[in-house]
Every structure is written in C-alpha cells, then in structure tokens.
Amino acid sequence: MRLRAAMIGVAAAALSLSACTTMDGAGATASVGNVPQLQTAYGAVTGTREGAANDVNVFRGIRYAATTEGRRFQLAADPEPWTTARPATEFGSECPQRPSGDVPVFKSWENSVGTSEDCLFLNVWTRGLRDGKKRPIMVWLHGGGYVTGSGSSNGYDGSRLAERGDVVVVTLNHRLNGLGYSYLAGLSDDPKYADSGNLGSLDIVKALEWVRDHADEIGGDAGNVTIFGESGGAAKVSTLMGMEQAKGLFQRAIAQSGSMSLAGFTPRLATPLAKDLMATAGVSSVEELAAMPIDDFVEAMMKSRSKAAFYRPVVDGRSLTRQPYAPDANPVSGDIPLLVGTNNNEMRLQGGLGSPENFALTWEQLPAKLTPFVDDADVEEIIAGMRKAHPDYDASDVFFQVATFRNYRNTALRQAERKSAQAAPVYMYRLDWKTPVEGGRLETPHALDIAFVFDNVARSLSYTGPETAQTKRMADLMADAWIAFARTGNPNTAALPQWPAYNVQQRATMIFDVDPEVVNDPDSAERELLQRLLPEGRSL
C-alpha cells in the first residue's frame, strides 16, 4: 500500500510540472487543457468533464486488475504498468454472461458495451482530483444476482450524485456466474484454483483496494467509503460484510432490495454444481474447463444444472469462513452502519411483467400460484391471513405481496434484526411511491429506487414516467438521505421526519413517498404472519 501510494505521489508530482492546472468550484483539478487527467499506480488516464456545470471529472474503464483471459478461475493480478496516458472515456467490457431478456421498463438504462474475460474495470465521477478534500466515496455494486449485469448501466451514471452531494462515485465490473463463483477446490488440488468459488467477490475487494490506494488522487477519503447496491448488488454488499479481506476497505453499507445473501453456498452444494458444469461442457478436468473457448463455456453454463443462474458465494473456509448473516450478523462488520430496505411491490416486475396473467388472478387460481413461494400446508392459512390483514386486496395483490415478502422483504427484515444486535446502527426503509408506467399496474416494483438514489430520473423515463414535481421530490428525498448516510453513517436530513435506528421493539421504518413518514412495524399483521410461515431464504 505504501509503495503504491508513493508511486502515485511521484507520478502526480511529475504530471503537475507539465499539466495545465485549472480551477473550478470544486477546487484545483489537474488537467491538460480541459481534459482531466488521473494518475493511477500503473499509469495516467484521461477522462472527460460532465455534469450540469461541467465540473464533474469522469473516468470510464479504468483498469484495476489485469485481464483474466488465460487465467480463468484464478485470483486477479495487478495490471502491467503503462507509460503513455490512456483514454478513460468509454466503459470497459462486461463479464461474459447469458443474454438478458428484453425488459421494456429498463430501456432507458440499457448501455451494453460487449463482453470479455478482460472485464476488471471501474469508473469514477468526482468534482476534484488530488485537491486535498476528503469527500465521501460511494462504491456501487451492480445488480443481476451473481450472474449478469455491469457497472455501465445508464441508471448508474454518477454525475448527478457527485454534483449534488460533492461525493465521489465509483462503479465497477467483476467476474460473474461460473467465471466468478465456480467452486473447484474440491475437484482440483492445484492451489491456483483454491479461491475459485469467490473470485467475483474477491475482484470487488481488489477494486476497493484500488479505491483505498487512490482516494487522495480522486479527491476522496479512504476512511469514509460506503458500499451500496441493489438486488444482486445488495447481496454482494451483504457478502462483503462477512469477508475478512474486506475489513477496513469500507465504513458504511447500503443494501437495497437484495438481502438474500444472509447465507452463501457450502462446498457440499457447490461441488456438485461444478461437477455438473464440467460434465455438461464435456471435459474431465478443471484445466480443460479453464481452457475452453469462452463462447463454449457460456453455452455449457446455460445448458448445465445451474442454467448460468445458480451461483452464489461459497463458505470455503478462506475468503468466507462463516455465513455473513446466519445465524447472526457476522462480527467482522459489527462496527459498520447499515441502511437496508425494499420496495413495496418488488415482484410486480418479475412476477407480473414477465407473466401478465398474474395481474388478473382469481381466488381459485391463487393457491397454485403461491406454491413456488409457500409450503403447500401453509397456503390456505397464508391466503386467509393476508385477506384479513388487507381486506381491500384482490387475489393478484395477495400473490405479489407474498412473493415480494418471500423473495425480498423477509431477508431484509432478518438482516436488520440481526444487525440491530450489534454496536453500529441499522436503518430500515421502504419505498412506496408508485410509478405510472404500464398503466400503474407495477405500483412500486423491483429496481425503481435506483432512479431516485442516483437522482437519475431524466435517464429513467421508461421506468419512472416523465419528469414531474413528484419524481424530482422523490429523487431529492432519497439521494440526499443516501448522501447523508455516506457522509455520517446516519441518513437523517432536514427534509425527512426524524428517522430512528431500527430495533426489534419499535421496528421504525422510513416510508419513502411524496410525503415521507416513519412508521413503527408497517403492515405488522402481514409481517407476523409471513415471518412465521415463510422460510427466510430467497427462492431460486
């Protein structure tokens, strides 16, 4: 760490002799002409100036590790240094993955840049470069489970967040699916494959080390880093909270609609999945699997038992020595404040938009629809209890709420309950604002919060509908709360009612809507019913 910091300091000093230094509202920024330049430990990169006031320095596609081509299933290595400044104006490649389906409401966010095993890149938005300011650093972990996605989505653009809060925003790509989470230690004695079950998470650790080592360079505070993510990104946040290697690399954590990583796989489950992948690929050794052409590898994943979707971190005794949140909150992150929550109707996206018949269920159809989420013996009790708790619900409403609780709300509650037993506080929220798209039938679906947290309503029109006073207010409320939490570990702002920390006695929850309010134990009858009868894990 000291050597790397010294390298950056020497290179930055040399750069300052030839660079034209300009001044803006954020302070001194090193640039050549009007092109911002950032000195990494491996070489200089040039970016762009963006934002409403043209005062956000943006660097896309910064290499934080070497290519993994030719080193499949192995720990990421440092990049080879370069001597001539490289452009950092385009996003780096995404990890190879199965094709994602066409989701019309995500149209505004689409920004695919192609895939490659050379995918370990990160992106930075900051108003200052080596200007001595100690800005909070917010590192976003993208959604898509552990199998798809990237940090280049238009929804994750960090310009607005960097401007409104004077924070540094970082997004990144890492290895996914079978490339990042194939547990091969039980199938090979070669030590280079010993960490194969958690490479995706270890890539994130390496990116966080880059952030730590370059914090001064990007105008941030290495001692004030927040990791945050939605859906699979929230699961990655929860996993990192249980990893010794990540300790000290972040000081706050936010898990949005994805607390499903209360527990990872064990070798007992992960080893047969890896065996099945090898069998499907038609190879007899890990070395052959590692040498397969990447297109053949992805095809084998999609045909295997995993279907390129059944991957999670593995409690391998190395990077994960125990479950992150089971049976309790891992003490390794006991001093890390946590902000956690969900949207009110998450499953109206996956369970509705993909299966429109679910918007018009009859009471007769409902029991069969609930069986993927509920034990058969409990179906009728759950239906009766939900109708009592919500007399105005129809059968579709009951289906979506039970599915939402099963897949999202239950694990968020369990995470908050277990975290509240530790020294650092936990804050619970629920987003209730309803989107008008799709005729309003989606209500408050999965991923809607991203538009408001990043203050990117203008980039999210296919999901939030047109910009209005309401959407602007929602962005103001949520983005400022997230910035406040990143800055202090407390999400309270002047625009919100007093938001207490969560505990199992009051269960204080911030309800985000045009008129936000704090409610103790919202929908308590539903919670008591479904926590009693539903298992806590996410259905797969």
Residues with active-site annotation: 231, 346, 446
Six-digit token string for 302: 């999609």
Angle between helix axes 294-303 and 267-281 (nearest 10 degrees) is 120
Q: Distance between CA 456 and CA 461 in Å, rounded?
A: 9
Task: For residue 178, give the H/E element and its range.
Answer: helix 177-181
Q: Distance between CA 432 and CA 453 in Å, rounded?
A: 14
Q: Distance between CA 494 and CA 481 in Å, rounded?
A: 10
Q: Is 538 helix (H, G, I), strand (E, B) or coil?
A: coil
Q: Is 13 exposed, middle or buried (0-12, 13-18, 19+ CB in 10 A)?
A: exposed
Taking a C-beta distance cutoff of 8 angstroms, is the pair 300, 292 a contact? Answer: yes
Angle between helix axes 379-389 and 395-404 (nearest 10 degrees) is 110
Angle between helix axes 524-533 and 379-389 (nearest 10 degrees) is 170
* 283 residue type, one letter: V
Report CA-CA distances (Å) from 429 to 253, 273, 480, 510. 14, 36, 14, 4
Q: Is 400 exposed, middle or buried (0-12, 13-18, 19+ CB in 10 A)?
A: buried
Short-list 209, 252, 255, 211, CA closest to 232 = 255
Going by C-beta distance under 8 Å and a sequence separation of 6 or more, which residues neighbour residue 90? 60, 61, 113
Examine residue 327 and say whether the peptide bond preceding it is cis (omega within 30 degrees of 0). Answer: yes
Query: Tokens 């309503």 label which residue?
Result: 457
Task: For residue 31, give the H/E element and its range.
Answer: strand 27-32
User: Where are any strands of DSSP class E within 80-150?
Assistant: 86-87, 121-126, 135-141
